[in-house]
Structure 1
Amino acid sequence: MRVTQGMLSHNSLRNLSNSYQSLGKYMDQLSTGKKINRPSDDPVVAMKGMNYRSMVSNVEQYERNLGEVHNWMDNSDNALDKANDVLERLREIAVQGANGTYEEEQRENMAEEVDQLRSHLEDLANSKVNNKYLFNGAGTTGVENATGDYEPPYEIAADGSNNNAPNNNDPVRIEVSDGNKVQVNVNPSEFFDTSIFTDITNFSNELKNGTDDEAIGDYIGVIDTHIDNNVNARADLGARQSRVELVENRLTQQQVTAKDMMSKNEDADIEEVIMNLTSQESIHRAALSAGARIIQPSLLDFLR
């Protein structure tokens, strides 16, 4: 095959174009720090990168979910802690009221404090976080009334009954990992049921109307029962909090692993890129020099 001047020129330009593309690729890698900048650069790396990014994105979403889980659990535990303080104070009043040395007026003062403590306990039962009721199960918006509006789940009447009962006892679950959902709320029937408010109301009435020290003293055991219910509810909540912490630690490890795998798949070896770029620059200069030599002089050069 006869090699013409045009063929030499064409091949030289094509090779120079390829050299420019190689230079451009290494410059892109150096400036972005990535092996590829478009899927066509390496489809395999691109597909793996998409999978790793999905893994990281899922872990980050689960970590955001864990923030909501902690919000629910921490606020629930705090409300139960305050409720325990109320019960401890009620027990102190029951012990005092059972003492026959107190007069009727003094017991009425105790009853007034009991009423205030019951109202405070009602406020704790209606605790909200992010505009959601903590102690109404899955009915986080409250209790729907006849007009379609929503009311607090606890509205205690004078006799201690709950006007908005029954409450929703369905659990509130939040997904914290793939297929793993954790209950974040406290079942209201475990502690904030109707009987606690009825018992406190009856205790108040006994202080107001009764002079039977033994009958007042009986409420010590009643209150102790509610204290035990509070402790059990907090223990169950604490067990779930421990589980959440384990899940959180595992997610942190998964995130580190996924990001490391993504980095190894996508990130360029800067030292190697610089060496390749330097080598390609030398090759490009040599190609330019060789191209200038193989192109024969034109007729104008002979006429000089």
Structure 2
Amino acid sequence: MQISSNLLFDRSASRMSALMATANQLQTQIATGKKINTPSDNVAVAQQLAEFDRKDADAAAYSTNLTLSASLLKQADSTLGAITTQLQSAAELVNQAATGTMSTANRQMIGAQLSSIVDALVGLGNTKDLRGQPLFGSTANVDAVIRNSDGSFTYNTANKLSEIPIGDGVSVQATETTSRIFTSSAGDTLQMLATLASTLQSGTATADDARAAIDSLQTASDQVSVVQASVGARAARVDLQQGLLENAQTDRTELRSSLEDVDVTQAYTELSKTMTILTATQTSFSKLSQLSLFNYLR
């Protein structure tokens, strides 16, 4: 039987080449701490890791949006609280003006105070957010509440504000409109207060005029409470979504680690075994290469 020396050499060379490739791969894994350093190392895992990268990028964008939404909703809640306080002060003044024994001069003073409250409410309605934009959704970057020359008010906000994406298929309206805040079943809150203030200041208002405004003020205050409750519910949704996002990120990180990270101790053990086999193979190949075909067949 004849044995090809070329075949023996080829087999040994192929074996050594495979062992050296394995050794190089193990050395790279030990150096980087990663099992997958090129897609060819494991195509399926590499694809999964690429999907993790995409989800991480999405999560970073959603995290930014969640932080913004939380800040806007917190500011909206605080501002609505301040509006409620102003309306409560107005209600106390109107109740005083409704007292039959109050003098005209005192009602005029109350009218001046109510006028100041209207100014404060307009200012609160035109609050700027952390980006310097109108908090309550003004269009075209102008004031959300405009006091017209005839004493009327215009609410320069859309009926429905745009929403901020905070997750896959999930978005939130992070602010409110001044029209919803200051308009109720009792009518225009600012207009009602401004008219009452003007009437009281003119000295023509009576206790009955003040009494007529009491129920309207309560309705206006209730409307602000409804809006504030809605803002609070959305803030709770944002908090929940932030928790879900963080949990998903933790799960991805753990799964990525299980797929990608190297057990360095095990890798060193495998490298040592591989180098031992490689050294033995090289020694055998060296001896084999020194034999002539005649000596080998003899």
State the TM-score, normalizing by the size of structure 1. Answer: 0.83
Which residue in 2 is equivalent to 1:76?
Answer: 76
Do the aligned partners of 2:144 and 2:178 also contact (CA within 8 Å) in 1? no
Deviations 1:238-288 (A, max 9, x none): 222222323222222222222222222222232321221121122222233
SS of the residue corresponding to residue 191 of structure 1 reads helix
Q: 2:66 maps to which residue?
A: 66
| 2:182 aligned residue (192, 200, 214) | 192
Question: 2:10 & 2:100 partners in 1: Cα distance?
Answer: 116
CA separation of 1:157/1:187 partners in 2, compared to 1, >3 Å: closer, same or farther? closer
The residue aligned with 1:156 is 147
Cα contact 2:155–2:178 (8 A) shared by 1? no
Deviates further, 230-239 or 289-298 = 289-298
| Structure 1 runs not aligned, ≥5 long | 143-150, 299-304
Corresponding residue SS for 1:155: strand
Equivalent of residue 166 in structure 2, options 176, 181, 186? 176
Letter in 2 for 1:265: L
Residue identity matched to 1:41: D
In the other structure, the counterpart of 2:92 is 92
Q: Percent identity?
A: 23
Q: Would the aligned equivalents of 1:53 and 1:262 in 2 still touch at CA under 8 Å?
A: no
Give the drift of 1:217.
2.7
**Corresponding residue for residue 126 of structure 2:** 126
1:231 matched to which residue of 2? 225
Which residue of the partner structure matches residue 290 of structure 2?
Answer: 296
Residues 169 and 188, structure 1, Cα contact 8 Å, conserved in 2: no
Deviation string 1:134-182 (CA, Å, 9 cap, x unpaired) is: 3236x3x33xxxxxxxx313121365412x4553212221122212222
SS at match of 2:182: coil
Q: 1:109 Cα deviation (Å)?
A: 2.8
Preserved contact between residue 115 and residue 198 of structure 2 (Cα < 8 Å): no
Distance 1:152 1:166, change over 3 A: closer
Q: How does 1:249-264 map to 2 (within 5 A)?
A: 249-264=243-258
Contact 2:137–2:161 (CA<8 Å) still a contact in 1?
no
Q: Which position in structure 1 is the counterpart of 2:194?
A: 201
Report the 3-state secondary structure (helix = DSSP H, G, I; strand = E; otherwise coil) of the residue aligned with 2:146.
coil
Task: Please report how far the alpha carbon of residue 100 of structure 1 lies from its aligned counterpart in structure 2 after TM superposition.
Answer: 4.2
- Equivalent residues, number: 286
* CA spacing shift, 1:78–1:179, aligned 2, 3 Å: same
1:117 aligns with 2:117: yes
CA drift at 1:7: 6.7
Q: CA RMSD in A?
A: 2.5
Q: In 2, distance between residues paired with 1:257 and 1:291?
A: 49
Give distance in 2, aligned partners of 1:252 and 1:297.
66
Q: Which residue of 2 aligns with 1:266?
A: 260
Distance between the aligned counterparts of 1:159 and 1:64, measured in 2? 43
